[in-house]
Amino acid sequence: MKNLKIGVFGTGRGVDIAKNFMLQGCEIVAACDFSKDRLQKATTQLGSDIALYDNFDAFIEHDMDAVILANYFHEHAPYAIKCFERGIHVYSECISNGTMAEGVELIRAFEKSNVIYMLAENYPEMLFNREMKRLCDSGTLGKILYAEGEYNHPGDPRDCSFNKTYNYFRGHWRNFLPRTYYITHSLGPIMHAVGATPKRVTAFSAYAPTPKDAPSASFDGDRAAIVTTQNDDGSIYRVTGCAAFGGHHNAYRICGTEGQIENLRGMGQQVMLRYNKWSKPEGAEETQCYTPSWNDKDEELIKTSGHGGGDYLTARTFIESIREGKQPPFPFDIHAAVAMSSVAILAHRSMLEGGMPYDIPDFHTEEARKQYENDRLTPFYSDDGSAPTLPCCSNPEYAPTEEQLIMFDELLK
């Protein structure tokens, strides 16, 4: 069986992703980025013989089987559609579409193609999240009623190195990122474990702006958005997007009628499994804290991979999907990806409207597509320079001070 030829679009994060494909016998044949410095740096890690491009349309003319989309967080859909049109498989990191209209366009274009599409959401493959899915699948937790997911990354507001690396101009998407949007790391793992799709969403914000003596170009003064969904099986999810409160953690909890499982904040890969004494399986303990085992043939390679092994395992699923000619499992498939993006987008609107509930559309139906096919509201600057059409913060009047912006510009010099 021939090695798959892979192209990389966006060589910041994309290089780390591509390494996991190389570990599995894939050939990285081309890379595309607007930054010549990043392109040259990529050759030192991916091979000096790869083709380099600064234009996406020229890049996808290259002979390749699949493209890793690791460009700006919210701009994947238009590039995925171009890949669909050329019969190139797509591995798309983070949200699949930045607007509701793009979600409609993505689904319609996909249905006209014959390609594999996968949301490259890696957190479901972390060891503790794999164990949670195993327990849900076992049935010992009973009917799942409730699940939580927190992706919580507080940062030092005076840490200039982060801004230099990740927020390197005033209009960068991170400076306009609503707290609900970066949602797949919190929502993806529990969707994977539980198997339910959100159908209705509401959200509230926790507002606490950056201190005024810290350099900043961020127009979002919220620290967190608390997002609640009602799902197609009657269960409820409570998740954050990318939050910034308390101590750093990724935390997940799943509760059924008979028991519950959660990972332990600050305790590495440990999980706590609990049953009530009247509902515990025969031979089981009421409470058990333990570190799960991988039980995987590629364990040693997984342990070398980023994001707790998730980068390797997610790439492996994509490769297997291409070789087997079938779409990846839920929630990595295109409809689940667009549903997650819809939660991100509509939860923000709910937050702006004081918790107003929004229905999550099912883009399997043309009726739902018609409702959103012209909905291009966005909190981000567009690549043509167009200004945002939605505020990114629960306080629409919030903005960094002129002094903060000056300090931000100075640290980038």
Note the pLDDT tens digit of each residue in 126-135.
999 999 999 9
What is the rounded distance in angstroms from the CA atom of residue 23 to the CA atom of residue 17? 10
* Contacts with 220 (C-beta within 8 Å, 6 or more apart), sequence order: 175, 176, 177, 178, 179, 392, 393, 398
What is the rounded distance in angstroms from the CA atom of residue 239 to the CA atom of residue 228? 6
Supply the CATH number for residue 291's domain.
Answer: 3.30.360.10
Token output for 218: 């961020």
Among 43-52, 152-161, 285-294, 379-388, name the one with the lowest average pLDDT.
Answer: 152-161
Among 33-42, 130-139, 344-353, name the one with the lowest average pLDDT.
Answer: 33-42
- For the chain, give the mean pLDDT: 96
Residue 222 lies in a domain: yes
* Contacts with 162 (C-beta within 8 Å, 6 or more apart), sequence order: 155, 156
Mean pLDDT along residues 242-266: 95
Residue 231 lies in a domain: yes
Mean pLDDT along residues 3-25: 96
Residue 44 lies in a domain: no
Q: Is the pTM above the cut of 0.85?
A: yes
Mean pLDDT along residues 316-321: 98
Mean pLDDT along residues 46-73: 97
Mean pLDDT along residues 74-100: 97
Per-residue pLDDT at 113: 98
**3-state secondary structure string, the chain?**
CCCCEEEEECCCHHHHHHHHHHCCCCEEEEEECCCHHHHHHHHHHHCCCCEEECCHHHHCCCCCCEEEECCCCCCCHHHHHHHHHCCCEEEECCCCCCCHHHHHHHHHHHHCCCCCEEECCCHHHCHHHHHHHHHHHHCCCCCEEEEEEEEECCCCCCCHHHHHHHCCCCCCHHHHCCCCCCCHHHHHHHHHHHCCCEEEEEEEEEECCCCCCCCCCCCCCEEEEEEEEEECCCCEEEEEEEECCCCCEEEEEEEECCEEEEECCCCCCCEEEEECCCCCCCCCCCEEEECCCCCCCCHHHHHCCCHHHHHHHHHHHHHHHHHHCCCCCCCCCHHHHHHHHHHHHHHHHHHHCCCCCEECCCCCCHHHHHHHCCCCCCCCCCCCCCCCCCCCCCCCCCCCCHHHHHHHHHHHC
Mean pLDDT along residues 234-245: 96
Per-residue pLDDT at 1: 65
Per-residue pLDDT at 383: 83
Among 119-128, 152-161, 192-201, 316-325, name the one with the lowest average pLDDT.
Answer: 152-161
Token output for 195: 């198997």
Residue 372 CA neighbour count, 13 Å, CB half: 29
pLDDT at 2 over 90: no
Per-residue pLDDT at 150: 97
Quote the domain boundaries for residue 363: 124-299+335-368
Residue 255 lies in a domain: yes
Are β-strands 66-69 and 5-9 bridged in parallel, bridged antiparallel, or unpaired?
Answer: parallel
pLDDT band at 337 (very low <50, low <70, confident <90, very high): very high
Q: Say how far residue 22 (Cα) sits from the centre of its chain.
A: 22
Percent above pLDDT 90 for the chain: 92
Looking at residue 148, its amino acid is E
Residue 403 lies in a domain: no
Counting the structural domains of the chain, the total is: 1
Higher-confidence position of 1 and 340:
340
